[in-house]
Amino acid sequence: MNYRHAFHAGNHTEVFKHAALCLVLEHLLQKPQAFAVLDTHAGLGVYDLTSEEAQKTREYEQGAGRLLGRGLPEAGAYADLLRAMNPGGLKAYPGSPEIIRRMLRAQDRLMACELHPKDAETLKARYRRETQVFVHHRDGYEAIGALTPPPERRGLVFIDPPFEQKDEAARLSRALAAGLRKWPGGIFLAWYPIKDAVIGESLSQAVADGDFPKTLRAEFLAYPQDGLSLAGGGVIVCNAPWKLDERLAALCEALAGLLGDGGARWAIDPLTPA
């Protein structure tokens, strides 16, 4: 599938994915030592929900729109950030680099990679005055090997590819394995879309067959799987922080009530021995 963020910004799986990202960042913020984040597929940074692309699908209405209207304490910093960006109603949606940037402290750093030339230029222009944000026009998978481990030694690699290529799941699996060899202590959070079970099972099997540290999988589906439409999404978290599974469970349960219209389901499973 081709997951183009401009059309899907703020939808149900974006809410789940970005709330999960915030939970991991909140963990890193618990210690005073600096951390670095590598965002491998950064996109545009901020998405205009009044744009032609967003208005064509209006998926944000059933995702971020509901959260903004009713709130969600289980989403923590994500819900607060969304409200801060939209005091007069939902018009802008923060992509992962904007979420990360807003959560950085003075000592922390973001490396944002984007391969699409026009999107990379947009991203560079957006953050040109941000001294803690470094935008790279390069392949995000290649950047994992080139930019890790960071001098800070603490941090996160966030992998959120568009799944434009048929072999994307295999590339993602290889990137996780190679990245963990390069940076064994880093947290790796990878997202994947769910239309059917193929991508999730492929990634999970790769983890089970490999030499991975503590890794968990969380999936949230707002709608039934039919193999055609986007039912939901999943995240795989390697070197998962302590009690992240409990926080993700609380998040998913709350999202099911907010976004699922009675048909949502979710699951959180360890992919490696405890």
Do 43 and 119 touch, CB atoms closer than 8 A? yes
Active-site residue set: 160
Q: Which residues contact 245 (CB under 8 A, 6 or more apart)?
A: 216, 218, 268, 270
Q: Which residues contact 257 (CB under 8 A, 6 or more apart)?
A: none
- In this structure, the strands spanning 187-194 and 232-238 are antiparallel
Q: For the chain, how big is the Rg over CA atoms in Å?
A: 17
What is the pLDDT at residue 2?
43
Cα-Cα-Cα-Cα torsion 190, 192, 197, 201, nearest 10 degrees, comes to -20
pLDDT in tens, the chain (274 residues): 444 567 789 999 999 999 999 999 999 999 999 999 999 999 999 999 999 888 998 999 999 999 987 878 999 899 999 999 999 999 999 999 999 999 999 999 999 999 999 999 999 999 999 999 999 999 999 999 999 999 999 999 999 998 888 889 999 999 999 999 999 999 999 999 999 889 999 999 999 899 999 999 999 999 999 888 899 999 999 999 999 999 999 999 999 999 987 789 999 999 998 6
Do 72 and 254 touch, CB atoms closer than 8 A? yes
What is the pLDDT at residue 1?
44
User: In terms of residues, how long is the chain?
Assistant: 274
- Give the separation between CA 13 and CA 270, rounded to whole angstroms: 21
- Give the separation between CA 253 and CA 19, rounded to whole angstroms: 13
